[in-house]
Amino acid sequence: MRKFKIDHKFEFTTLITLYAQWIREGKLKVNSDWNKDLKIKFTAQDPCNMVRKTWGQKMADDMRFVIRTIVGEENFIDMVPNGINNYCCGGGGGALQAGFTDQRRAYGKVKFNQIQETRATYVFAPCHNCHAQIEDIGHHFGGHYNVVHIWTIMCLAMGVLGENERTYLGDDLKDIGLNKEDQP
């Protein structure tokens, strides 16, 4: 739009930034009570395109605000480095589809080790490529974590995650919130 000087009245943003805004404004009612006793640990991948190439540290901060709100401050373990300095997962730029699986996984070993150091049980990966790559390197290198989308755990934190939306959750989360007494 800027390049061709096309007048527009919309702002290009991300849903994660809107989640953060809506939570801050009280429009999106979430809480981390479901994880108070469970103490399930989460970490987060900072996708290259969303964080380093587009929205920068503000996006990384918004994502962490949302995650901490839905899983509990004490249940979030950040990778080191993180935010705009986080490591690439190795799955973007066509790497997942390029057919060089061994090379992609070798590059992804850096990310795998970084995740393992957190000892988190779940990795938030808001990018589809990151999600697939982190899941693949976890299986390949013997990781003991699950990869999730923010929306899934947000729905869990609101008590509205459907039974059929839990297929990729670990046994520790598959049934949370399905019974009335489990709901936040």
Q: What is the pTM of this model?
A: 0.90
Whole-angstrom distance, CA of residue 76 vs CA of residue 179: 25
pLDDT at residue 138 in the model: 97
Query: Is the distance from CB of 130 to CB of 92 less than 8 angstroms?
Result: yes
Q: Which amino acid appears at position 59 of this protein?
A: M
Every domain of the chain and the residues it spans: 15-84+94-182
Q: Which amino acid appears at position 103 of this protein?
A: Q
pLDDT at residue 181 in the model: 57
pLDDT at residue 180 in the model: 56
Q: Which residues, including other chains, have CB under 8 Å from residue 128's CB and lie 6 or more apart?
A: none
Q: Which mean pLDDT values do the consecutive 10-residue runs of the chain (184 residues) have?
A: 84 91 96 95 94 91 98 98 95 88 96 98 95 97 96 94 90 84 52
